[in-house]
Structure 1
């Protein structure tokens, strides 16, 4: 009998608590919602790591016909500035950590060593987490005197996952359409909004 009384009291307590939370005023609920989704600032700085696939790349000991492309480790830094909850402007800088050859459109073999791609992009966010990226850029080789530069059109899609206190983990897929060849990359950024 005593156990039945305790269960009844717990059920009544739970019921009263649930009714109280349902009757919160609209302003309290709105304030709590705003607190949960409070922005952490207009700036976002991120570090990137991933792999870039260059379909037309091959190593010195191979020929272009033998190659099926190369996966190249890539690191980078991104900066974005929020114009609104739907639009951001940013700069994306990536560096491919490998040396390879490509066959240009004029059938010339070009050596590429530690390629850097710097792009100025716009980001449109159709939802809170998904971002669509596009913008022009340039590619050159780090530390090379006679490097050949290429125009780049960077496009991509990302999925932002908020961690806490402005930190975000973001899987990213990008496609770089370059003057002489193209590449696509899979990676992840760890960023902080401030």
Structure 2
């Protein structure tokens, strides 16, 4: 098993349905091209180049504790050569900072069907936006 370290950029949008449950769309783009061995169940596997893949996932986040979020989701990773279905599980730890901001650290394990798995460590910043209209008297 070979490993690859690569820089990526993620953009996530979550809607908090309840205090402890959010539904969202999470996306990532890897800033590198690389070659993977496709798992096809045959003796000889195919090699596929992944050219700056982008993943988009529907994700549910559950917060059992105030600062801890557990997440799971399904989606797809897109690249010029071939697309892969995927699922992910992970955890994130968030620390509140002033003016409706949070800093967070996350760890996510992603499984691309018939392809490869990735372990992602992320550092993030969150801005809470209110959808409620504020009325001024």
TM over 0.5: yes
1:184 to 95, 104, 119: 119
1:78 to 3, 9, 12: 12
Deviation of 1:85 after TM superposition, in Å, equals 1.1
* 1:69-148 correspondence to structure 2 within 5 Å: 69-106=3-40, 107-141=45-79, 144=80, 147-148=81-82
- CA distance, structure 2, for counterparts of residue 120 and residue 164 of structure 1: 29
Instruction: Find out whether 1:158 has 2:96 as its counterpart.
Output: no
- CA distance, structure 1, for counterparts of residue 122 and residue 60 of structure 2: 19
Which has the larger helix fraction? 1
For structure 2, the 5+ residue unaligned runs are 130-137
TM-score by length of 2: 0.87
TM-score by length of 1: 0.62
Deviation of 1:101 after TM superposition, in Å, equals 0.4
How many aligned residue pairs are there?
A: 124
- CA distance, structure 1, for counterparts of residue 55 and residue 106 of structure 2: 16
Structure with larger Rg = 1
Which digits, 9 at most, give the CA deviation of each residue in 1:61-93, with x for residues without a partner?
xxxxxxx31101010111011111110001101
Larger relative contact order (Cα-Cα within 8 Å, sequence gap ≥ 6) = 1
For structure 1, the 5+ residue unaligned runs are 1-55, 57-67
Deviation of 1:181 after TM superposition, in Å, equals 1.3
Corresponding residue for residue 7 of structure 1: none
1:169 to 103, 111, 122: 103
Runs of 4+ residues deviating >4 angstroms: none
